[in-house]
Amino acid sequence: MEPDGAPRIDDADLVTALRRGEEAAFVALIARHHASMVRVATLYVRDHEVAEEVAQDAWLAVLQGLDRFEARSSLKTWIFRILTNRARTRGVRDQRMVPFAMLQGDDPTSDRSVDPDRFFPAGHEDAGHWSSPLRRWEGAPEARLLADETGAHIAAAIAALPESQRAVITLRDVEGWAAAEVCHVLDLTETNQRVLLHRARSRVRAALACYLGDE
C-alpha cells in the first residue's frame, strides 16, 4: 500500500507513468519517499531546512534523469543514491561534515562500546551474539517503554554516533532498509556495513541499558 492507502504501484509501471508525465505518479512517488529522503539528508547537512532543499534538488534530478534509469537497481535505491550524492556535496560545501568515504576504514576492533565479554567468543555456535542479554523489558511498566522520553533517549544515542555508524543504523533500523540497499547507496562493502551496524547497535543498546537501569 502507498502512504495514502492506495494500492502500491510497482517500479516498472511507476517509471512508465512518470515518463508519460503523469502528475499522479509523481505525487505517489513523493508520498512514498520524501519524508525519508529528508531524514537521510540530515545525516549529511546541518539542519532540517537544508535537508529539505537537498531533497527538492534530488527530486529535480530524478525527473531530469528518468530516461537514464535502467532498472539495474530498484527505483528507490536509484533515487536515494541521487539524494545522498547531493547531500554529501552540500555538506562538504557547507563544511559541516567529513566525506563519508573517509570514514569507511573504521577499525572494527577499536572503540568498543560494550564489554566483549558480553558476547559469545569465536568458536561458539552463537559467536558474536549477546551472552548476557539485557533484562526482559516486558516486566517494565508499559507506560515507561512507550514514553516519549525513551524514544528521545534512543534518538539522542543515535545522534551521538560517529557519522558512518549513524548513517548505517539510521537506514537499517530507523528507515527499515535491507543491507544490500544500504551498501549500494552508501558505497559500502557487505562486511563494512555489518561492522558499522554492529558497533552502532552496541552503542545504542548500551546507552539504552544504562537508561533503563540494566547496567
Nearest-angstrom CA–CA distance, 78 and 69: 8
* pLDDT tens-digit series, residues 109-123: 444 455 556 566 666
Q: CATH class for domain 11-93?
A: mainly alpha
Judge whether residue 3 has pLDDT over 90: no
**Measured over all CA atoms, what is the biggest interatomic distance in the chain, rounded to whole angstroms?**
59
* pLDDT tens-digit series, residues 41-76: 999 998 899 999 999 999 999 999 998 898 888 999
Which part of the chain has CATH 1.10.1740.10?
11-93
- The residue with greater pLDDT, 35 or 122, is 35
pLDDT of residue 61: 96
pLDDT of residue 101: 47
Which part of the chain has CATH 1.10.10.10?
102-211
Q: Is 1.10.10.10 the CATH classification of the domain at 102-211?
A: yes
Which own/partner pairs from 105-113 qualify as long-range (CB within 8 Å, at least 24 positions apart)? 106/162, 106/164, 106/165, 106/192, 106/195, 106/196, 106/199, 108/195, 108/199, 111/199, 112/199, 112/202, 113/199, 113/202, 113/203, 113/206
Tally DSSP H helices, then E strands, for the chain.
9, 0
SS3 content of the chain, % helix, strand, coil (to 5): 65, 0, 35
> pTM of the predicted model, to two decimals?
0.69
> Which DSSP string do the residues of 146-209 spell out, in sequence order?
HSHHHHHHHHHHHHTS-HHHHHHHIIIIIS---HHHHHHHHT--HHHHHHHHHHHHHHHHHHHH
